[in-house]
Structure 1
Amino acid sequence: MSEGKVWLVGAGPGDAGLLTKKAESVLKGADVVVYDRLVGDGILTMIPESARMIDVGKNAGHHTKQQEEINQILLLEAQKGNLVVRLKGGDPFLFGRGGEELELLIEHGIPFEIIPGVPSPIAVPAYNGIPVTHRDYCSSVHFITGHKKAGEEYDIDFDALVRTKGTLVFLMGLGALDDICRGLLDAKIDPGMPASVLQQGTTAGQKRVVATVSTLSDAVRREKIETPALIVVGKVCELSKKFEWYEKLPLSGCKVVITRPGGKNSRSAEKLRRQGAEVLELPAIRTEVIPDNQRLLQCIQNVKSYQWIAFTSTTGVRIFFEAMAKEHCDIRNLMQCRFAAVGRATKKALAQCGFFADLVPEGSDGASLGEELAKVCGPYDKILLPRAEAGGHEILDEIGKRKDLVVDDVSIYTTTYKRSGYLDERRLFETGKIDCAVFTSASTVKGFVEATQGLDYTLVTAACIGKQTKAAADACGMKTFMSDKATMDSLVDLVIELKKNNQKGS
C-alpha cells in the first residue's frame, strides 16, 4: 500500500477566486476531502468528482463531528494510503484548530503539508472597504476569537486591547456581540468608536452594518445580520463608505449557477465573477469518447471525399483531431475541406488545431448552422458531421432541405449527467439563495435538470444563449430569458439586466 499524506488547506473566506493556486492544485489530486461548512460553495464545486467527500460540519453552535473525531478521520484515511485534503475556511492556523489536527498525525508518523489560506479577518474587511491598518488611524491590528463556551466568562483582557488603540477583529463572535461590546465599554473604550459587523464577506451574501461600539448591537438586530460574520472595532471602520468597491460591481450580491462539463473551467463563470457574481459551477455533464468507433475510422480514412466538416461543440473538435492523430492521418488530407463551427468557442477550438472556420452562423445553435450550410454548400457537396450521440436533429432538418447534399452524421462521444454530491442545489433554489441559472447550451439544461431532480423549475430564472437552449429551459417550466447575441459577453449582459430588473421590482 502506498503511503498516505494529509494537506491542511486554507480555503480562504469564501470567494472561489481567493483560493490559492497551490490549494487548487492539491485539491485536484485528492483522494479524500474533509471539509467544513465555512468553505465557500463555489470552492466545493471545484472538488473533483473522483474524490470522496466527508462533511465534518463545524458551524457555529452545531458540529457534525467533534474535533477528536475529525483528527481520527484524517489519521485513518491517511493510513489507508489516501491523499487527504483537510479543507478549512480561512487559514488553518488562524483559529482553525489546525495545530490540534497535526498532533495525532505527527504521533503516528503521517506526512503532511500546510497550505495557508487568505485570512478572513483581512479579506472580509477589504471587500467591505475597510483597511485593517491605515497610517492615519492605527498602528496595529489584533485578531481575537469571539467564541466562548456557554455559561463561561470571556478569557479576554479587554483593558489591554483598548490600550493598544489598534483595530480589533473578532471572529466567530456574532452570538456574543452584546458581551463583546459590554467588555469594551467596561474597559473605557470611547462609546463613539466606529464599529462594524460584516456578514458573509466575499460572497453574494455580503452585508455590513457600521455603527459605534455603544449602538452596534441594536443596529445588527435591526438589520437581521446572519452568520458567519466578523466584528471590526476601530476608526478604520469609518472608511468603509469611502473605500467600498464590491457593492459597485454590476453583479455584487448575485449568486449564479452554471452547468459545465466535469473537469473543465467555464469561461462564462470567469466573466460572471469579474462582474462580482458568486458563481457555482456544477460539473454535472460528463463526456466520453465512443470506443472502437469504426464509423469514425472509416470517415477519417475517406476524409478527402468531404467538402465540408461541421462541428457543433469544442468537444467534437478535440475528439475528431485526436482520432486523426491516433490513426496517423496527415492533416494535409483536409486541404480540400471547408470548416463550419457553432459559436465562438467552437471556432476558437478549431483555430487552435490550425484551421480557421469558413462558416460561423449568427445563431449559436444547430439549426442556425444547418440553415447556413444549406445556403452555401455547392451541388452534391458531402458534409461530415462529427458530434454527440444525443445531438438534436435540428441541424439535419435544415440541411435536409437541400436534397442534393450528402451528410455523414457520425456519433463520436456520449454525454451523461450526474448529481452533485456536496451541494443541495434544490434547497438553494427553494430558499431563494440562487438568483439565476446560466445555460450555454441545451445539454447544460439537461445536465442541470439531472443534478436537481425534484426541484420546482418554476422557481428557476434561466439566462439562456440561443433559441435551442431557451426552448430546453422552457420545456422544464423555467422563467426564461435569452441574450441578444449568441456570445458569452451578451449572456453576461443579460444576467446584469435581470439583476437590475429584479431590484426595480423589489
Structure 2
Amino acid sequence: MSNGKVYLVGAGPGDVGLITVKGYRLIGQADVILYDHLMPMELLQLARADAEVISVGKFASKHTMPQERINALLIEKAANNKMVVRLKGGDPFVFGRGGEEVEACAEAGVDFEIVPGITSALSAPTYAGIPPTHRDFTANIAIVTGHRRDEKELEIPNAGTIVFLMGVANIQKIIDSLLKAGFSAQTKIAAVENGTRYNQRVITGTLEHFVQTVREEKLGTPAIFIVGKVVELHEKLNWFGRKPRVLVLGTHPEKYTHLGTIVHRPMVKCVGLEDCSQLDRALERLETFDWLIFTSANGAKYFFERLKCKGLDARSLASMKVAAIGKTTAKRLTAFGIVADLVPEKESSTGLLEKFGALEMMNKKALLPQARVSSAELPDGLAALGATVEQAAVYETVEIEPADVDLEHIDKILFTSGSTARAFVKKFGLVPAHIKAYCLGKPTQASAKEHGIEAEIVPQQDK
C-alpha cells in the first residue's frame, strides 16, 4: 500500500466563502487537485504553485473525462505517494457520484477520507430566502434527483418540501410527476439558478404554469427547484437578492464587504522590480530619515523583502517613525515586527496628509516606498508641509486577464487604483449605465475620469 491518500472534498455550492475550514486547508496542501467545473474556481488560487491541477469537466450532460477515467486517475496519483484532493461541487455524497469514486479507491487499497461540503439543495434555498423547513409550513424535506438513469420514472416522496437537483432539462417531467402524485396545480414552486453566486436568479410560480415561465425566463444551469408552501416566504426573506453586487478589481476584497456582495475579479497584480537601485540607495542611509511612510500592504511587502536581501531587518528602522495609509497596511507591517506610529481613520493620501498636517513636518525627511507609477498627491502634500520627500519604487502593477464576470449582474464597481480603471476600460470599455462606479480616493477618481469614467469616492464604513 502506498503512502498516498485521496481526500474527497466538498467545495460547496458556489459562494467561495462556504468552503469548510478543513477543505480550505487541504486544497493548500495537495500535491494533485482534480476538480469539476461546478465549483468556485477561486478555490484553485489556494493551490500550491507546484501542485498539479487537473480539470475533469463534469458539466450537465457533458463530461470532459469519463467517470471510470476519473476513478483510475485518483488511484494512479495516490499510488505515486501523492496527496490528492478531489474537489467536487456541493457535497460529494449528494448526487455527486462521490460514493463511486471512494469505492474505487477502497477496492484498489488506496487510503481515502471524505470532507463534507454544503450542498446546493440546502444553501440555494437559504440564499433565495426560502427555508426548506419551517414550523408553520412543514417539518420535513426530501431531496430528489431531477433525472434518472435509463429514463426511469421520478419517485415523488411524501414531503412538505421537495428539492430537485439536476432537473432543468427535465422540468416538464418533474411537473408531470408531481401532478400525477397528487400535488395541486396551484402548488408553489421556485427555481434558483446559480445559487449562492453573485449572478443568482430566483423564479417563482405555480406548477400549473411553471414550464412556460422558465422557458420564457430562459432558465439556465446549474439550477435547483423547490416545491412546497415554504416558497411563499421568498419575497419576505430574500436577504441575498437585496444586497448590491460589487465588482472589486483590486486586492483585499474583504475590506469592502460592507458595500454588498463582493465579486472579486482582479485585473492587475503587483510584482517586484528587477532594478531596485533607487531603494538600495535609500537603504544605505536609513538613519537620515525621520519618517517611513507606506501607502499599501504591497509597498510594505516588497520593502521588507529588499531589506532582508541587504542583510537588514526591522532594527535598522529604529531611528525613524512609521506611518501606514490604513489598517490593512498597518496589519501587514506587524508581520515584520513593526507597529505603525501613525494610521489615519480615513484610508487615503488625504487622510495621511490630514494627520501629518497636525505635526511639525518642516525640514523632516520622509522615505516613501511605493509603486513605480503612483499619485503625486501625497509627496506633493508633504512637500507643501515643509518635508523633504524621497520616493523609492519597490514594485509595479501589471495587467492580468480577469476571470469571467457578467456585468449585467453587477450593481457597483470599485476601482482601487488608476491601473484598475485603465485595465477595465481596456477590457470592457466604458462602465455600463446601470452600474454605479466608485473609487478609493481622489487620485484614483482623477485617473478614472481620464479614462471616461465618472465615479464617486467610496463611502467610509460606519463605525
TM over 0.5: yes
Once the two structures are TM-superposed, the CA of residue 404 in structure 1 deviates from its matched residue by 8.0
- 2:75 counterpart SS class: helix
- Give the Cα–Cα distance (whole angstroms) in 2 for the partners of residues 132 and 363 of structure 1: 43
The alignment status of 1:285 with 2:269, answered yes or no, reads yes
Q: Tell me which moved more, 437-446 or 177-186.
A: 437-446
- Give the Cα–Cα distance (whole angstroms) in 1 for the partners of residues 378 and 226 of structure 2: 62
- Where does residue 5 of structure 2 map in the other structure? 5
Instruction: Return the letter of the residue paired with 2:443.
Output: Q
- 1:71 counterpart SS class: helix
Contact 1:13 1:123 in 2 (8 A): yes
Contact 1:78 1:84 in 2 (8 A): yes
For residues 66-95 of structure 1, what are the alpha-carbon distances to aligned partners after superposition, in whole Å with 9 as ceiling and x for unaligned?
A: 222322333333344443322211100000
- Give the Cα–Cα distance (whole angstroms) in 1 for the partners of residues 375 and 184 of structure 2: 72
Once the two structures are TM-superposed, the CA of residue 483 in structure 1 deviates from its matched residue by 1.2
Structure 1: state its 5+ residue gaps.
Answer: 491-506
Contact 1:32 1:84 in 2 (8 A): yes
- 2:117 counterpart SS class: coil
- Where does residue 380 of structure 2 map in the other structure? 398
2:173 aligned to 168, 175, 179, which one?
179
- Give the Cα–Cα distance (whole angstroms) in 1 for the partners of residues 299 and 267 of structure 2: 18
Contact 1:371 1:395 in 2 (8 A): no
- Where does residue 311 of structure 1 map in the other structure? 294
- Give the Cα–Cα distance (whole angstroms) in 2 for the partners of residues 368 and 235 of structure 1: 53
1:442 aligned to 418, 426, 447, which one?
418
The alignment status of 1:457 with 2:429, answered yes or no, reads yes
- Give the Cα–Cα distance (whole angstroms) in 2 for the partners of residues 407 and 245 of structure 1: 49
Q: 1:229 to 1:482 in 2, by over 3 A?
A: same
Once the two structures are TM-superposed, the CA of residue 480 in structure 1 deviates from its matched residue by 4.2
1:479 aligned to 445, 453, 457, which one?
453
Once the two structures are TM-superposed, the CA of residue 144 in structure 1 deviates from its matched residue by 0.9
- Give the Cα–Cα distance (whole angstroms) in 2 for the partners of residues 328 and 351 of structure 1: 13
The alignment status of 1:223 with 2:232, answered yes or no, reads no
Query: Normalising by structure 2, what TM-score?
Result: 0.82
- Where does residue 157 of structure 1 map in the other structure? 155
Structure 2: state its 5+ residue gaps.
Answer: none
Matched-pair identity in %:
33
- Give the Cα–Cα distance (whole angstroms) in 2 for the partners of residues 339 and 90 of structure 1: 46
Instruction: Return the letter of the residue paired with 1:307.
Output: D
Once the two structures are TM-superposed, the CA of residue 268 in structure 1 deviates from its matched residue by 2.8
Q: 1:339 to 1:22 in 2, by over 3 A?
A: same
Contact 1:371 1:398 in 2 (8 A): no
Contact 1:45 1:282 in 2 (8 A): no
Contact 1:303 1:333 in 2 (8 A): no
Q: 1:56 to 1:473 in 2, by over 3 A?
A: farther
- Give the Cα–Cα distance (whole angstroms) in 1 for the partners of residues 239 and 354 of structure 2: 46
Once the two structures are TM-superposed, the CA of residue 21 in structure 1 deviates from its matched residue by 1.5
Once the two structures are TM-superposed, the CA of residue 359 in structure 1 deviates from its matched residue by 7.5
Once the two structures are TM-superposed, the CA of residue 234 in structure 1 deviates from its matched residue by 1.9
- 1:458 counterpart SS class: coil
Once the two structures are TM-superposed, the CA of residue 270 in structure 1 deviates from its matched residue by 3.5
- Where does residue 254 of structure 2 map in the other structure? 267
- 2:178 counterpart SS class: helix
- Give the Cα–Cα distance (whole angstroms) in 2 for the partners of residues 308 and 122 of structure 1: 54
- Give the Cα–Cα distance (whole angstroms) in 2 for the partners of residues 122 and 23 of structure 1: 19
- Give the Cα–Cα distance (whole angstroms) in 2 for the partners of residues 327 and 20 of structure 1: 40
- 1:201 counterpart SS class: coil
Q: 1:399 to 1:369 in 2, by over 3 A?
A: same
1:237 aligned to 231, 235, 254, which one?
231
- Where does residue 496 of structure 1 map in the other structure? none
Q: 1:236 to 1:110 in 2, by over 3 A?
A: same
Q: 1:247 to 1:459 in 2, by over 3 A?
A: closer
The alignment status of 1:145 with 2:117, answered yes or no, reads no
Contact 1:309 1:340 in 2 (8 A): yes
For residues 168-216 of structure 1, what are the alpha-carbon distances to aligned partners after superposition, in whole Å with 9 as ceiling and x for unaligned?
A: 1110112111111111212222333222222222122222233332332
Contact 1:258 1:269 in 2 (8 A): no
Q: 1:480 to 1:113 in 2, by over 3 A?
A: farther
Instruction: Return the letter of the residue paired with 2:442.
Output: K
Once the two structures are TM-superposed, the CA of residue 125 in structure 1 deviates from its matched residue by 1.2
- 2:455 counterpart SS class: strand
The alignment status of 1:188 with 2:182, answered yes or no, reads yes
Contact 1:464 1:480 in 2 (8 A): no
Contact 1:259 1:444 in 2 (8 A): yes
Contact 2:448 2:455 in 1 (8 A): no
Instruction: Return the letter of the residue paired with 1:166.
Output: G
Q: 1:286 to 1:112 in 2, by over 3 A?
A: farther
- 1:25 counterpart SS class: helix
- Give the Cα–Cα distance (whole angstroms) in 2 for the partners of residues 220 and 372 of structure 1: 57
- Give the Cα–Cα distance (whole angstroms) in 2 for the partners of residues 155 and 287 of structure 1: 57
Q: 1:211 to 1:347 in 2, by over 3 A?
A: same
For residues 376-419 of structure 1, what are the alpha-carbon distances to aligned partners after superposition, in whole Å with 9 as ceiling and x for unaligned?
A: 6655433222334x243726862796698644433445555544
- Give the Cα–Cα distance (whole angstroms) in 2 for the partners of residues 64 and 474 of structure 1: 45
- Where does residue 249 of structure 2 map in the other structure? 258
- Give the Cα–Cα distance (whole angstroms) in 1 for the partners of residues 7 and 178 of structure 2: 38
- Give the Cα–Cα distance (whole angstroms) in 2 for the partners of residues 32 and 181 of structure 1: 42
The alignment status of 1:62 with 2:71, answered yes or no, reads no
- Give the Cα–Cα distance (whole angstroms) in 1 for the partners of residues 34 and 28 of structure 2: 14
Once the two structures are TM-superposed, the CA of residue 473 in structure 1 deviates from its matched residue by 4.1
Contact 2:266 2:400 in 1 (8 A): no
Q: 1:13 to 1:303 in 2, by over 3 A?
A: same
- Where does residue 102 of structure 1 map in the other structure? 102
- Give the Cα–Cα distance (whole angstroms) in 1 for the partners of residues 147 and 379 of structure 2: 65
- 1:315 counterpart SS class: helix
- Give the Cα–Cα distance (whole angstroms) in 2 for the partners of residues 181 and 155 of structure 1: 12
Tell me the number of residue pairs that the alignment of Structure 1 and Structure 2 aligns: 455
- Give the Cα–Cα distance (whole angstroms) in 2 for the partners of residues 368 and 135 of structure 1: 51
- 1:84 counterpart SS class: strand
The alignment status of 1:470 with 2:455, answered yes or no, reads no
Contact 1:42 1:280 in 2 (8 A): no
- Give the Cα–Cα distance (whole angstroms) in 1 for the partners of residues 382 and 361 of structure 2: 14
* Coordinate RMSD, CA, aligned: 3.8
- Give the Cα–Cα distance (whole angstroms) in 1 for the partners of residues 162 and 31 of structure 2: 39
The alignment status of 1:410 with 2:392, answered yes or no, reads yes
Contact 2:250 2:417 in 1 (8 A): no
- Where does residue 35 of structure 2 map in the other structure? 35
Q: 1:480 to 1:49 in 2, by over 3 A?
A: farther
- Give the Cα–Cα distance (whole angstroms) in 2 for the partners of residues 157 and 360 of structure 1: 62
Instruction: Return the letter of the residue paired with 2:391.
Output: D
- Give the Cα–Cα distance (whole angstroms) in 2 for the partners of residues 18 and 411 of structure 1: 38
